[in-house]
Amino acid sequence: MDTDNVAAELRGLDTDGLLALFTALEAPTISEIDGEYAAWLLAQPNLFAEVTGKVAVANPLGPWLCKAFRPVDENGGRGYNTFGEFGRVRQRYPMRTLLAPSRYDGAPAYTLIYRAYTSLCGSIHMVDEVRRAAPGVYLGMGTWGFTDAQRRVPRPFVLTGPVGPYRGDIGTARPAFTPGTRELPGRPA
């Protein structure tokens, strides 16, 4: 299937449709996701998510360009986001990646844990889950918040690519960080 057509189909779905599709998809492997992937938001579940999403990643002064990943070993990897800033590309918001049970259905998802590093995204407990919609097209569900209810609100996005190589690791790891139920509520305690 054509990458552009699949991405266009995703843009045509509402949040409920995207979440239903997400639960029917499979997780990519750790080794499959390698490089930079163009990224953009899809339909958001409510006005608050729409506004905060636009401020955070659709800001014309610093638009979100991509997410990037590199496998570290067969169990996980690292990543970051890139943003445009006055004609330059800036890496921000490092994350640890691993396969973990999804908060939505308990099946494996390629999971991005921002709390593993010191950043604004880590401070707001952001976690993204990604599954393969088609070769080179990945549907993601982002979450963030300080309460369980806030962290259950799906904030859909799409990734396509890879469109470029991984630029290099960034960020300061939180000492002795181990993901807990805030990050991985689908994992049995």
Range of the domain at 46: 3-158
What CATH number is associated with residue 84?
2.40.128.580
Using an 8 Å Cβ cutoff, are 84 and 58 in contact?
A: no
Is residue 134 in a domain? yes
Q: What is the mean pLDDT of the chain?
A: 92
Output the pLDDT for position 69: 98
What pLDDT is attached to residue 61?
Answer: 78
Residue 176 lies in a domain: no
Q: Report pLDDT for 1.
A: 55
Whether residue 36 lies inside any domain: the answer is yes
Q: For residue 151, give Cα distances in angstroms to 17, 124, 126, 184.
A: 19, 10, 8, 11
Residue 142 lies in a domain: yes
Total-model pTM: 0.93
Q: Is 174 within a domain? A: no
Domain tally, the chain: 1
Q: Which helix (H) or strand (E) holds 6?
A: helix 3-11
In a domain, 163, yes or no: no
Q: State the Cα–Cα distance between residues 71 and 97, nearest whole angstrom.
A: 8
Residue 175 lies in a domain: no
The residue behind tokens 């800033």 is 85
Interval 81-94: pLDDT, tens: 999 988 899 999 99
Compute the average pLDDT of residues 132-142: 96
Assigned domain for 167 exists: no
Q: What's the whole-number mean pLDDT along residues 133-150?
A: 93
pLDDT value at 161 more than 60: yes
